[in-house]
Amino acid sequence: MAQFDTIRGVAGARSAEIDAGLRAHMNKVYGTMSVGMFITFLAAWAISGLAVTADPSQAVAQIGADKYLTSFGAAIYTSPLKWVIMFAPLAFVFFGFGAAMNRLSAAGVQTVFYAFAALMGLSISWIFLQFTGYSIIQVFLITSIAFAGLSLWGYTTKKDISGWGSFLIMGVIGLIVASIVNIFLASSAIAFAVSVLGVLIFAGLTAYDTQNIKNTYLMHAHSGDTEWLGKAAIMGALNLYLDFINMFMMLLQLLGNRE
C-alpha cells in the first residue's frame, strides 16, 4: 500500500510539473505572438506615415483630399517594388523559418520572427491609407475577441480536431491561388468570397493550431529538451500570429470603412 501511494505521489507530482510547464509554454506562445503583433502594427503605422503627406510640394501623386503620396510611398505602393513587398512575407514563411529552425538557437529564431513581423508591417501598411483609423481599431477588437474565444476552445476542448488540418491547409492554398488570380481579374465577387471563406478557414486554423501547440508540448515534455521546446513555442506563436493577421485582414475587407 505504501509503495502504491509512493507511485501515485510521484505520478501526481510529474503531472503537476507537466501542467505547470504547459502553462509556461502557452504563456510564451501568446507573449511572443503579442509582441510580434505590436511590432507589425507599429511598423505599418510608421511606414504609412512616411508614405503620405499633406504638402503638395512634397507630393508625387494625390490619393485623396489633402492626402498625397511621397516619393517613398510611390516606391512601395505604385512601383514594381510593391509586388516584392506583397509576396516577401509569404516567401519568408516558406524559406526563412525552415532554415532558422535548423541553424539558429531559440533566441535566434525569436529574432527572425520579430524581423518577419516588421516585414509584415511593411506589407500591410497600405490599410492605413485605404481604411479609416476607427474601422481598423474596431475590426482589430472584433478579431481579438473572436481569436481569444476560438483559441480558448481549441485549448480546452476534449474533441480531437487534428483531422481538420489537411482540409484547412488545402483551403489556405485555394485562398492564395484565388487571391493571385483576382489581382488580374479585379472581381469584387471573388474578393468577397475570398474574404468570407478566409474568415472561416482562419477561424478553424486558430482552434486547430492552439490544440496542436498544446499536444506537441505534451508529447515532448518528457524529453527535457528546453531548446527544442523554446523553438516550438516560437513556431506556435508564428502559426497563431498568421491566423490572427489573416483573419483581421479578411474581416477588414468585409467590415472596414474606406477613406
pLDDT at 57: 73
179 domain-assigned: yes
| Half-sphere CA count of 38, side-chain side, radius 13 A | 6
pLDDT at 10: 45
For residue 98, give its domain range.
Answer: 14-50+91-255
177 domain-assigned: yes
Domain count, the chain: 1
Query: Over 60: is that where the pLDDT of 25 sits?
Result: yes
Residues in the chain: 259
Q: Specify the range with the lowest mean pLDDT, choosing from 25-29, 43-47, 254-258.
A: 254-258
**pLDDT tier at 14 (50, 70, 90 boundaries)?**
low
Question: How many CB atoms neighbour CB 2 within 10 A?
Answer: 6
- Which comes out higher in pLDDT, residue 95 or 5? 95
62 domain-assigned: no
pLDDT at 204: 96
- Which comes out higher in pLDDT, residue 225 or 254? 254
Mean pLDDT of 170-197: 91
144 domain-assigned: yes
Rg, the chain, Cα only: 22
Please give the share of the chain, as a percent, with pLDDT higher than 90. Answer: 57
Report the distance separating Cα 192 and Cα 185, nearest Å.
13
Q: 221-249: per-residue pLDDT in tens?
A: 776 667 888 899 999 999 999 999 999 99
21 domain-assigned: yes
Query: Over 60: is that where the pLDDT of 158 sits?
Result: yes
Mean pLDDT of 74-97: 88
pLDDT at 161: 92
pLDDT at 139: 96
Residues ≥6 apart with Cβ < 8 Å to 241: 33, 36, 37, 113, 117
174 domain-assigned: yes
Q: 60-82: per-residue pLDDT in tens?
A: 777 777 778 888 888 899 889 99
Query: Over 60: is that where the pLDDT of 9 sits?
Result: no
Query: Over 70: is that where the pLDDT of 55 sits?
Result: yes
The pTM of the full predicted model, rounded to 2 decimals, is 0.90
236 domain-assigned: yes
- Among the listed residues 119, 157, 117, the one whose alpha carbon sits nearest the alpha carbon of residue 244: 117
pLDDT at 11: 47
Query: Over 90: is that where the pLDDT of 47 sits?
Result: yes
75 domain-assigned: no
